[in-house]
């Protein structure tokens, strides 16, 4: 029997001491890390590792003969990066992309930056030219460390073959711990071909990083901090939880829901926080911010205690930081990243730590000390605002309104489907009109706003959750960005449902040009419109490819599309002039929110002048 004072000797890896190539070591570590799928495009500098993946899968199959770690080939490397991101966002696990050197690596810059901006854990393995020719402008050479260093959480260039194994493990550690993010491993071809002894364990000595992570993970909420928090909560009459993507990234949704329910505190989420609470819950105000619900934004204006959880007061929410939550006498902020606290809005109470643990600690303290407060009057006023300022649109129009299409999808899915989106009007309509009962069902490019994200992210999510209904809600502009991935869907027989809301142009840009640039359609006056998406989808192997132009057919066709057993493509020709409302112009307070023709506004104020050309999009 082992006592507490006896050291426990770890069981050695079964392959410890075996001679392997560097490429084989990389693949073995991926397997040890539990990698289920690799997304990538091959090329000369990564061929040794691709060959090692092939040989590993030949020897490791499930009962049905399927490879243990399949290699999924996209149309290009950007698609591979977004597929890895979709996998990671849908599961919370580390996604993996593997690409070759030079253009293969540089094609992943956008998804890497996208993952960094939205705190998504992926590991990108890049082939590199042999060590002795690095810096000579060799064929397909690119300075990956220099390029990626400013957009990734960390970049490794492996120049010591004996440290390769430890480097790969450490990359996964960095990607998943603390505030998650993308890590790049640049591996020269000769390091992949190197022959050495596999150790089966070991990490690089990244002491300063581990010290920072330890400072956060060990910083438990103390009783006196909880007491101070509940003192502020007890003084409040109109508290509001403002929840960001950190709550989902930190797997804190369950703890958040329990906290909100126990103390009956309403919740508004950012775009990235959608799903942290059930959007159908009575406490949910859904999304706030630039295109948030009018009632959610009014709640921010009215609240007297703002509790930020895993949110960073970014410019799409705190559009005018000085006027954001103007009646909040106090602000509390819980986050895992100290750099986000006080960056935009000073907090009267703050705690840096693990969100799930800290929310559980607050709930436990409140229950133990019998905290009680009556916020029923506040809740009643919010319930009334939900009715008065509900989403609405031109329901009598003869043209198909995108809102109507999304309402029909929502009626069929009941908030249970995984939704990936491109970026633009369709993204905001989806955020507004679709429900999400659980976290990790909403996959979108938030901070970077990357067009072309939706389709490859949906593919990654479908591999992550093969039994789930996965839908890509896209626009015609975003769809063009990674159109080649339609073939990836059919090649792998994925039952992804692809929706293109086609308004023949970049709708969000046109909306801004109408509102803020006096209708000058620069760059959108000749938007691409000759693409026949249906013929394209059919050419890529979609057996179901339908164009919907008749409003009366919307319910029937949407249901048919969703129930089709395989890949299904639906193009809907929507009202070209449909806009996304509500809308808060850049740099303007919520009191100057534009609600459009179909949603009431409680404020008579309108923008005194349009934002200038330097304003954030």
Residues marked as catalytic = 77, 139-140, 189, 508
**What is the pairing mode between strands 330-335 and 349-352?**
parallel
Task: For the beta carbon of residue 136, count every other beta carbon within 10 angstroms.
Answer: 9
Residues in the chain: 617
Bridge partners of 472, per DSSP, are 420, 498
> Could you give the count of Cα atoms lying within 13 Å of 387 in the half-sphere of its Cβ?
5
Kindly state the tokens that stand for 61: 């199959």
170: CB partners within 8 A, 6+ apart: 156, 203, 204, 206
Q: Which two tokens stand for residue 363?
A: 């709930």
Residue 554: partners with Cβ closer than 8 Å, 6 or more residues away: 400, 404, 405, 408, 548, 572
Q: How far apart are CA 515 and CA 520, in angstroms?
A: 10
Taking the C-alpha atoms of residue 314 and residue 296, their distance in angstroms, rounded to an integer, is: 16
Contacts of 614 (CB under 8 A, 6+ apart): none
CA 239 and chain centroid, separation: 27
Q: What is the DSSP letter of 580?
A: -
Closest CA to 428 of 241, 288, 300: 288
The residue behind tokens 């829901």 is 257
- The closest of 265, 299, 303 to 282, measured between CA atoms, is 265
Residues 6+ apart with CB under 8 A from 119: 179, 180, 181, 245, 246, 249
Which class for 174: exposed (0-12), middle (13-18), buried (19 or more C-beta within 10 A)?
Answer: buried
Report the C-alpha dihedral over residues 327, 285, 443, 156, rounded to 10 degrees: 30
Strand pairing class (19-21; 195-197) = antiparallel
Contact 548, 523 (CB under 8 A): no
DSSP letter (8 states) at residue 594: B
**Is the C-alpha dihedral spanning 155, 213, 114, 316 positive or negative?**
negative
| Cβ neighbours of 380 (radius 10 Å) | 10
Angstrom distance (rounded) from CA 499 to CA 567? 11
Contact (CB, 8 A) for 65 and 98: no
Tracing tokens 């890949």 back to the chain, one arrives at 567
| Cα–Cα separations (whole angstroms), residue 392 to 174, 238, 293, 551 | 44, 26, 11, 17
Partners of 572 in the beta sheet?
501, 548
Residue found by looking up tokens 């993507």 in the block: 245
Q: Are 500 and 451 in contact (CB under 8 A)?
A: no
> How do beta strands 95-99 and 71-72 pair?
unpaired
What are the two backbone dihedrals, phi and then psi, of residue 284, each rounded to the nearest 5 degrees? -80, 130
């Amino acid at each position: 029997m082992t006592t507490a004072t006896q050291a426990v000797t770890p069981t050695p890896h079964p392959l410890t001491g075996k001679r392997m190539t560097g490429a084989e070591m990389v693949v073995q570590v991926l397997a040890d890390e539990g990698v289920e799928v690799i997304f990538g495009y091959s090329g000369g500098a990564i061929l040794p590792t691709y060959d090692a993946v092939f040989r590993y899968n030949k020897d490791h199959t499930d009962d049905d003969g399927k490879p243990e770690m399949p290699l999924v080939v996209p149309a290009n490397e950007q698609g591979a990066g977004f597929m890895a991101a979709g996998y990671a966002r849908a599961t919370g696990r580390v996604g993996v992309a593997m690409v070759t050197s030079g253009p293969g690596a540089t094609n992943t810059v956008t998804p890497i930056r996208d993952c960094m901006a939205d705190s998504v854990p992926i590991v990108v393995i890049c082939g590199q030219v042999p060590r002795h020719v690095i810096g000579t402008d060799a064929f397909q050479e690119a300075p990956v460390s220099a390029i990626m260093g400013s957009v990734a959480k960390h970049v490794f260039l492996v120049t010591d073959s004996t440290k390769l194994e430890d480097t790969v493990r450490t990359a996964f550690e960095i990607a998943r711990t603390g505030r998650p993010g993308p890590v790049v491993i640049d591996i020269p071809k000769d390091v992949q071909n190197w022959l050495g002894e596999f150790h089966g364990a070991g990490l690089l000595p990244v002491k300063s990083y581990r010290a920072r992570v330890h400072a956060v993970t060990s910083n438990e909420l103390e009783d006196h901090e909880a007491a101070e928090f509940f003192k502020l909560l007890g003084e409040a009459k109109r508290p509001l939880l403002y929840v960001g993507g950190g709550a989902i990234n930190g797997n804190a949704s369950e703890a958040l829901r329990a906290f909100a329910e126990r103390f009956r505190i309403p919740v508004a989420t950012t775009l990235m926080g959608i799903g942290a609470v059930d959007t159908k819950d009575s406490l949910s105000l859904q999304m706030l911010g630039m295109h948030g619900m009018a009632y959610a934004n009014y709640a921010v204006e009215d609240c007297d205690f703002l509790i930020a959880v895993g949110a960073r007061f970014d410019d799409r929410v705190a559009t005018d930081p000085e006027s954001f939550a103007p009646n909040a006498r106090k602000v509390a902020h819980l986050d895992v990243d100290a750099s986000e606290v006080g960056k935009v809005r000073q907090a009267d109470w703050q705690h840096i730590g693990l969100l799930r643990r800290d929310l559980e600690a607050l709930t436990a303290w409140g229950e133990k000390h019998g905290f009680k407060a009556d916020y029923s009057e506040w809740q009643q006023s919010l319930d009334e605002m939900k009715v008065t300022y509900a989403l609405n649109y031109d329901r009598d129009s003869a043209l198909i309104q995108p809102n109507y299409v999304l309402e029909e999808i929502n009626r069929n899915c009941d908030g249970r489907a995984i939704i990936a989106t491109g970026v633009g009007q369709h993204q905001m309509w989806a955020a507004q009109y679709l429900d999400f009962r659980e976290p990790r069902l909403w996959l979108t490019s938030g901070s970077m706003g990357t067009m072309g994200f939706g389709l490859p992210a949906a593919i990654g999510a479908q591999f992550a959750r093969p039994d789930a209904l996965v839908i890509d809600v896209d626009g015609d502009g975003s769809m063009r960005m990674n159109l080649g991935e339609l073939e990836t869907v059919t090649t792998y027989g994925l039952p992804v449902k692809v929706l293109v809301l086609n308004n023949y142009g970049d709708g969000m840009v046109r909306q801004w040009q109408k509102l803020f640039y006096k209708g000058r359609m620069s760059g959108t006056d000749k938007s691409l419109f000759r693409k026949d998406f249906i013929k394209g989808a059919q050419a890529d192997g979609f057996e179901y490819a339908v164009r919907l132009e008749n409003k009366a057919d919307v319910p029937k066709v949407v249901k048919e599309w969703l129930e089709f057993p395989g890949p299904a493509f639906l193009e809907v020709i929507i009202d070209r002039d449909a806009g996304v409302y509500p809308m808060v112009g850049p740099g303007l307070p919520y009191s100057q929110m534009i609600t459009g023709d179909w949603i009431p506004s409680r404020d008579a104020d309108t923008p005194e002048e349009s934002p200038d050309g330097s304003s954030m999009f």
